[in-house]
Amino acid sequence: MTEKEKCRLGLLYDANYDTEILADREKAKELLYDYNRLRPSQQTEKAELLKLLLGKTGDSLIIEPPFACDYGYNIEVGENFYANVNLVILDGAKVCIGDNAFIAPNVGIYTAGHPLDVEQRNRGLEYARPVTIGHNVWIGAGVSVLPGVTIGDNAVIGAGSVVTKDIPSNVLAVGNPCRVIKEIKQGESGCQ
């Protein structure tokens, strides 16, 4: 079994020394290097590079540079996707984001984790768990979404939150660890 196959199965895999995995990350870094150095006016070129890098996109997507990811091909975003500056997606496993997602600055979405056992960790082993983010989700500034998490449709994740467990649809969730603080009613503006 290859290291990529182990990764897809959620098993420990060699993320640091396997030549195939390293080559995939190098390819993504080359595309990201070009993407992050385009001028703001080069919107067409940005969209073309994102479509080369990402596994699936809608027609309308904006990711403000700088943007970083591991592979790109494990990332799927829906229609009308917007991410502000400093988005980091460690996509050892699939990251699926629905339509109309809005991601604030300095957000990290992480599928990768490392074993507690020091010998395994020192051998470069890690695991990857998929992350799913629903439609119409707003993720606030400085949020970290950890491996294996699902965030439901229409959810809002407050700034600075660390999302360690699934968040249901139609809620406002905040904190470290992130927890639901209220249900969102349709038409609610959030303005006081």
Name the residues annotated as catalytic.
114
Name the token pair of 130.
């998929």
3-state secondary structure of 142: coil
Q: If DSSP codes are grouped into helix, strand and coil, which group holds residue 18? A: coil
Give the gyration radius of the chain's Cα atoms: 17
Strand-pair partners of 179: 174
Q: For residue 83, which phi and psi values (nearest 5 degrees)?
A: -130, 130
> Please, which residues have CB within 8 angstroms of residue 53's CB and are 6 or more apart in sequence?
28, 31, 32, 35, 69, 72, 73, 75
Angle CA(84)–CA(134)–CA(128) in degrees, nearest 5?
80
128: part of which helix (H) or strand (E)?
strand 125-128
d(Cα 19, Cα 138) in Å, to the nearest integer?
A: 37
